[in-house]
Structure 1
């Protein structure tokens, strides 16, 4: 049985801390190249965010259970290496806090039989002190033999939504830290990876990728969390999602391309208006900075190939690619 911890050490409430926009839209002092190569031994960085405060990208690590930074010149540095973080997945920065999904695919240096494929947590760190301020357990909320917290989206009022790739659920964590299952549906089930990337749309709904089914779904938060498929799209096995100027940028094709997807009817239907296939390899997700989208080439395919033998995961070279 996995040991559970929920930690609260805020001076105030996280609701006050997370009511601002995500800190990844603008960095006026930075001139970004089209491609940033960086070296980080055995990082396997599944998630990416950008902190204007740090003036750096923040990347996660499936194998090391830590967070690191990458500047525009490709210099990598460890940022946070907490013992509680087994395998860091999706990451966001919002108003002085770093939020990260904590999971365990069994290939982390911190993996144990008690936590492997059984972990779904949300960890919140103070961006100034780098201290853990909240640890919210999610996997106990839904009875499933397997769990993997994958990605997260933040609503302006501070509510956080987290996808589980191994259980057919989306979790909800309020601004005061109360966790629950937002929705559970067989549509989200998959024999491989189910729910993956997720974004919050300012019109009051979520858009989520179901990788195994190759579909996008809309969850209408203003209509009793009604679930509907985004129609008229081809098979689109999405990983990470980023919303920029009302268009959705979907990492797809096993990380070999990014599709720009647009809707004219509030995401009842959508179409792919552009695909960028240059410079992507085993990519996972992306982030919007200065009006552009930057995608993380994370060597994600090596994770699946090495299941059961983490010693095979020795890569050190990664990159961040601009959508063109």
Structure 2
């Protein structure tokens, strides 16, 4: 193409406009960042506080797709969503959600799983038939909240006490649910077929106490499961669950609740009775572990953890106020960044 002044001027004009546009976008991004909040991925706050009188959430999961947190409720059963600004609204509800405990967001399959129980008078939906007897798994579409399955697990062992507490999901999509009132871990496959994965009296707790609690899946083919009254985390092989063993540690984990696998060698454990989150490090595939740090929460009854990018957040649930009959009930709850 022959060179001409007009084509050269056109090129210069185009470059100038592109430069101006780029400068404007950078300036806008900078101002948005300084204003604190209109970028698509704003900086994560240290604390998200939300007000819902007597909600008493126990489970929390961060949804990176929509930048929101899902929270459960012991007292109402409904699952809510919380934004960074503290705005709370109900995400999904169903009459069978007597009390929702642990949550698990299976993002790749667009599923939100909830452990469903009945703690008795603490739930507005409690009935004489289900109080202390209910263990169920509710599965929702994580995008629209539609209930896709409800699996009553307690019917696998009728007559005993049951309390579904927490959930882990393996690479194939199988869900594992702990029962705090029976020494049982249930398994539910992708088709909704339920079975007893592990049942052993060594995992039992005294009557009325919480036994099995938090649970996570390790990609090397096993589960890590907290037993609250014993203060122990157990390693449970998927291919041979009866060969479970305690993770040897000098640290008592009494009151162990939520677990989070930070990486393949690091497990975070919430102890609500000790008001502490322990960071356990392992160099032998969790045959043993040592404490590599701890985070004191104060008297807030911390329960469960969730990951947000490279950060970890813990839910301050204030359940001691609920179990103690505090009146008026707690109104403000918070999701807080964990800092060791």
TM class by shorter chain equals: 0.7 to 0.9
CA distance in 2, matches of 1:61, 1:47: 8
The within-5 A match list for 1:149-160 is 149-160=164-175
3-state SS of paired residue (2:155): helix
Greater than 6 Å deviation, 4+ residue runs: none
Unaligned runs of 5+ in 1: 1-27
In terms of fraction of residues, the more helix-rich structure is 2
- Larger deviation, residues 245-254 vs 181-190: 245-254
CA distance in 2, matches of 1:313, 1:217: 38
2:92 matched to 1:92? no
CA distance in 2, matches of 1:313, 1:226: 47
Residue 148 (structure 1) aligns with? 163
What is the number of equivalent residue pairs in this alignment? Answer: 294
1:303 Cα deviation from its structure 2 partner: 3.0
Residue 18 (structure 2) aligns with? none
Aligned CA distance change for structure 1 residues 180 and 133 (closer, same or farther; 3 Å): same
CA distance in 2, matches of 1:224, 1:48: 27
Residue 201 (structure 1) aligns with? 218
Higher relative contact order (CA 8 A, sep 6+): 1
2:319 matched to 1:300? yes
- Larger Rg over CA atoms: 2
CA distance in 2, matches of 1:51, 1:151: 18
Residue 4 (structure 1) aligns with? none
Residue 198 (structure 2) aligns with? 183
Q: Provide the TM-score with structure 2 as the length reference.
A: 0.83
On the 8 A contact 2:272/2:302 being kept in 1, the answer is no
Q: Provide the TM-score with structure 1 as the length reference.
A: 0.87
CA distance in 2, matches of 1:296, 1:189: 26
**What is the alpha-carbon root mean square deviation over aligned residues?**
1.8
1:145 Cα deviation from its structure 2 partner: 2.6
Aligned CA distance change for structure 1 residues 178 and 70 (closer, same or farther; 3 Å): same
The within-5 A match list for 1:204-219 is 204-219=221-236
